[in-house]
Amino acid sequence: MPVTEQGRPDISSRKEDIVKNDDGSIDVYFGPTPPKGHETNWGQTNPKNGWFAYFRFYGPTEHFFDK
């Protein structure tokens, strides 16, 4: 499988410009190009290569465990 340039493969809630919803949740978008108006919450994918998502939870609060 050929490797191609990947410009922005990650998203982090620690980014200062990440857009949060009023309730504190964060919408994330994945695709080869960012959806208009949601560029800061976008993770780039390459349609010629596979990809996978993984999540890291640091210091989850009680709400996380209570679902």
> Three-class SS of residue 45?
coil
* pLDDT of the residue at 23: 93
Is residue 6 over pLDDT 70? no
The closest of 60, 62, 40, 43 to 51, measured between CA atoms, is 43
Distance CA(1)–CA(33), nearest Å, equals 21
Q: How many residues does the chain have?
A: 67
| CA distance linking residue 16 with residue 25, whole number of Å | 15
pLDDT class for 53, splitting at 50, 70, 90? confident
H or E element at residue 44: strand 42-44
Average pLDDT of the chain to the nearest whole number: 80
Q: Pick the residue with more confidence: 20 or 2?
A: 20
Prediction pTM value? 0.65
